[in-house]
Structures are given as C-alpha cells and as structure tokens.
Amino acid sequence: MSQSLPITREGYEKLQEELKHLVRVERPNVVQAIAEARSHGDLSENAEYDAAKEKQGFVEGRIKELNDKIARAQVIDPASIDSEKIVFGATVTLFDTESEKEVTYQLVGEEEADIKKGRISVTSPVGKALIGREEDDEVVIQVPSGTRVYEVTEIEYK
C-alpha cells in the first residue's frame, strides 16, 4: 500500500501544471525530435537520436512520478487547521538563541520545500524536530553545522 503525500493546495496545483506541460508540450516535442533524428539515417551512430531517446526516458519517468504523487496527494489547507501545536502547514517563527535572530518557516511536503522561500519539509531535521511543539517551547536541533537551539515564538496557520 502506498503512503499518502501531504501537500498544500499550491503545491498540488504546481504538480498538476508540471504534468500538463510534460504531457502537452515536452512529450510531443520529444516524439518530433526522435522522428527527425530517424530521418537522418543510421541510428547506431546518430547522437541526435540518442539524445532524444534519453530525453524521452526522462520525460516519461517524470510523468510517471508526477502521476504517482498526484494520486497519493492528500491536499491540506493550512488555513483550516486549528491547533496550538506545530503540524503540517504551520508557519512557525523561531528565535535562534545563538545568533539572536528570528527565522520563519512554513512546514510543507518534500515536493514543495524551498529554503529560499522559507518553506521546509516536514521530513527535514528541523521539520521533524518542530512537529508537535508549542509556543514558548525550546527546540534543540541537530543540523549538519552542529546543534541549534530555537525558541518557538509564534505558530500560525494561514
């Protein structure tokens, strides 16, 4: 049995858009490139054909992967969550006790994680450490650069 994939509405729509683009644009382009490369003759020494077939493999693999993720997606609207604890979708403000700076992260699914946008995966070391915590909790997190100590200052669901 396959596991459900928690994802926000925005993340789900991005997956669907990527799938639509691959099926409607990339797949036909690859088929055309293969046909054109075939028309050039001997396939055993045809680099264009090899490149087109390789791209076809990538496109078809990604389409299969996206279909699987969309089928397993459990769309969660963070705004509908009413919790005092940190769960998927929470936007969490943390106070870094070492640097004395605040950071804000939203906990999202792996497919949506983007640290530059302040979106971290619930399966990341920081995400795992935050799940179940409440405001004013102190969280000690082991990260690649060492140990970080954060204080949870705010939890929002928006």
List, in sequence order, every beta strand (DSSP E) within 3-157. Answer: 5-8, 73-76, 91-96, 101-108, 119-121, 138-143, 146-156
CATH number assigned to the domain comprising residue 69: 1.10.287.180
- Please check whether residues 152 and 82 belong to one and the same domain: yes
134 and 97: one domain? yes
Residues 92 and 155 sit within 8 Å (Cβ to Cβ): yes
- The mean pLDDT value of the chain amounts to 91
Do 54 and 31 lie in one domain? The reply is yes
pTM of the model: 0.80
For residue 98, what pLDDT band results from cuts at 50, 70 and 90? Answer: confident
What CA–CA distance (Å, rounded) separates 134 from 48? Answer: 57
Residue 116's pLDDT is 93
Number of structural domains the chain divides into:
2
pLDDT one-digit tens code per residue, 50-88 = 889 999 999 999 999 999 999 999 999 998 888 899 999
3-state secondary structure of 52: helix
Burial of residue 109 (CB within 10 Å: 0-12, 13-18, 19+) is buried
Given 76, 104, 136, which residue is the final one in a domain? 76
CA distance 138 to 30: 52
- Report residue 2's pLDDT band, with 50, 70 and 90 as the boundaries: low
Q: What is the span of the domain harbouring residue 25?
A: 5-76
From 20, 46, 76, the end of a domain falls on 76
Q: 82 and 27: one domain?
A: no
pLDDT reading at 1 higher than 60: no
More confident: 75 or 143: 75
What token pair was written down for 23? 């099926």
